[in-house]
Amino acid sequence: MGSGYRMRRRPGPPAIAVLCSGQGTNLHAILNAIRAGRLRARIGLVIVDRPNAFALMRAKRAGVEALYVNPKAFPDRARFERHLIRLFAARDVQVVCLAGFMRILSPVFVRRFRQRMLNIHPALLPAFPGAHAVRDALAWGVRVTGVTVHLVDDAVDHGPIVLQEALPIRRHETPASLLARLHRLEHRLYPQAIQWLLEGRVRVKGRTVTIRGR
Ligand code: GRF
């Protein structure tokens, strides 16, 4: 960890933060995995950057602390991010999970959570990065796509890959049918990758990740 963010592990399961901008189906899957005991964590905080993000509602319904933080209320990105860092530190957040968070975080923030921040992407990176991965994969005519969970680094959809699984594209696939199948995959993979990271089993060498004991 960079300086200024102290790991003060409190007793009990480690805290994670989940950052969302939209539906929050991955947040829902994380909550379910925690309830089922597959993910030994607690959600310390959910952050949404849009007031109407359904993820906010989901978190509140689940009794999890969730805040809408309006980035425009801050003079610049650095101050917005410092605010998030303070919120996380106060809740002893160990791992940050981006789950459809449509905002690019600065290298300063990324360094703060180096190898402690994950993102999930609905394609087999490095193919189809960006906000329209599902549509782009279909338009390209690929026969196989999938889901990637990766550590976050300074570039978008770029960091070392923790977990990836392929999904064949079916005949007559539509964006909606593909998205639904990708989501089911995401909801299985993301809690798994978070659990490995929390267990300290994720080892990174250059771009290559190994999972200890796997
Ligand atoms: C997911 O498809 C994820 O891969 C991408 O954004 C989407 C978020 O979906 N980064 P949801 O808000 O978790 O339903």
For 209, other C-beta atoms within 10 Å of its C-beta total 22
Percent of the chain scoring above 90 in pLDDT:
94
187 in catalytic set: no
Q: Are 99 and 18 in contact (CB under 8 A)?
A: yes
Single out the residue of 4, 2, 66 nearest to residue 30, CA to CA: 66
Which residue owns the Cα nearest ligand 1 atom 6?
A: 100
Which pLDDT tens digit goes with each residue over 71-99?
999 999 999 999 999 999 999 999 999 99
How far is CA 78 from each of CA 84, 117, 153, rounded to the nearest angstrom? 10, 18, 17
Ligand 1 nearest-atom number relative to CA 22 = 12
Percent of the chain scoring above 70 in pLDDT:
96
Which residue owns the Cα nearest ligand 1 atom 14?
A: 25
Give kind and range of the element (H or E) at residue 148: strand 144-151
Q: Compute, in angstroms, the gap from residue 100 CA to the centroid of ligand 1.
A: 4
Q: What are phi and psi of 51, to 5 degrees?
A: -65, -30
Which pLDDT tens digit goes with each residue over 195-209?
999 999 999 999 999
Which pLDDT tens digit goes with each residue over 133-190?
999 999 999 999 999 999 999 999 999 999 999 999 999 999 999 999 999 999 999 9
Q: Compute, in angstroms, the gap from residue 3 CA to the centroid of ligand 1.
A: 31
